Amino acid sequence: MSSLKHTFSLLIILLLGLFQTTQAAQPTPNVASIDKPYVIPSPPSVAAKSYLLIDFNSGHVLAEKNPNARVEPASLTKIMTGYVVINELKNGNINMDDMVTISHKAWKMPGSKMFIEVGKKVSVRDLIKGMVIQSGNDASVALAEMVAGSEEVFAQLMNKYAQSIGMTNTHYVNATGLPHKDHYTSAHDLALLTKTLITEFPEEYKWYSEKKFTFNGITQYNRNKLLWQDPTVDGLKTGHTESAGYCLVASALRDKTRLISIVLGATSADKRIQETQKLLNYGFRFFETHKLYSAGQRLNDAVVWEGTRDLIGVGTTQDLYITIPRGQYKNLTIESSIQPDLKAPIKKGQTLGSIHITLNNKTIAEQPLVALSDVKEGSFFKKLIDQLKLFFNSLFSFLD
């Protein structure tokens, strides 16, 4: 068999000298040995019906209890109300300085108020502040009527946006969060909504960090007391009804790491603050988040046959973040794989492989590797040469 292989080699050495097979740049996994086991304490005990703590960038869950349970959102509903209004502003359908005539329905809304008066005109800007900072039910209805003509139609918009975000366990029937049997959400969906709001509208998100607002000579303070207690907290919204209990969606940013906390069904206003602070402190103390790669960054090269080019860059379509226990970065293992024998044409964005991140043999992240550019089919002569290369490569592989 060795003699046969040698004979074939002599016959084709001249042909192979005319062209050279291009090799892919192979990934270099960082296979690190584990010096010692690491220990992360269990999340703190949280007195709430449902809660969730996630990293904003990686989406990694740090603590949870009943995250998919259907719950009454109370005034956390106004996060979605605000999200719809912001989209309407961005789409040019309404403007901050538009004046809204206050209806009798908006004026008479029960619960928290910004104290608008029926028949008076109030700017969209003031209504937003009345909804976000003062949690005004009257402001929420006034905005809903301005955007959609009625609160009922506005609720349909809310549900369409929820579906587009991927909130599969949420349904709205009003813009305020007043109790209704068909008005519900979950901690997971609220985290998804919060992440989307901050990602898409970072400037408007700053509304949720304002501590007070004065309207009609009445000053009201933001019910999210963490804005005073923890300077790293910059939002988001409280909620309360007798049936829902005391709820709080909060987000905090420390050393370029942002966490989102959802606490639902606490027993008091003070308790929702205490339990949220416990979750945030736990997450920041015991975990760290790293950005490994940027979207579109060239991470590797893949061999392409029968194309106008022999190599194509590959990368991820999204920024790749990981959240890991503190001090464990050195123990990461990064591996990538590329599909064999790729042939042109190849389209930009086409999946060509994957990148796999593990920590101590446990998968923590995985993303597809896609083509960063197009590769067109080569000429007839180029395709013929590459076909010969593939033939002899497979032949030698068989002989081995």
The partner residues of 248 in beta bridges, in order of sequence, read 238, 263
Question: Is 99 in contact with 74 (CB distance < 8 Å)?
Answer: no
Exposure string for 75-106, b = 16+ CB within 10 A, e = fewer:
bbbbbbbbbbbbebbeeeebeeeeebebbeeb
Specify the amino acid at residue 181: K
Question: Counting every residue, how long is the chain?
Answer: 400
Catalytic residue among 49, 50, 58, 78: 78
Per the annotation, the verdict on 75 as an active-site residue is yes
Catalytic residue among 50, 75, 103, 261: 75
The partner residues of 238 in beta bridges, in order of sequence, read 248
The residue among 59, 266, 257 whose CA lies nearest residue 249 is 266
The values of phi and psi at residue 65, to 5°, are -150, 120
Query: End-to-end alpha-carbon separation of the chain, Å?
Result: 9
Any alpha helices (H) in 149-286, and if so which ranges? Answer: 151-165, 187-200, 202-205, 226-229, 269-286
- List Cβ neighbours of 122 (8 Å cut-off, separation of 6 or more): 99, 100, 102, 116, 130, 142
Rounded distance, CA 290 to CA 107, Å?
48
How many C-beta neighbours within 10 Å does residue 110 have? Answer: 9
- C-alpha 155, offset from chain centre: 24
Catalytic residue among 58, 112, 135, 261: 135
The values of phi and psi at residue 84, to 5°, are -65, -45
Burial class (CB in 10 A: 0-12, 13-18, 19+), 214: exposed
Per the annotation, the verdict on 135 as an active-site residue is yes
User: To which residue do tokens 């392409």 refer?
Assistant: 304
Per the annotation, the verdict on 78 as an active-site residue is yes
The residues annotated with a catalytic role in the active site are 75, 78, 135
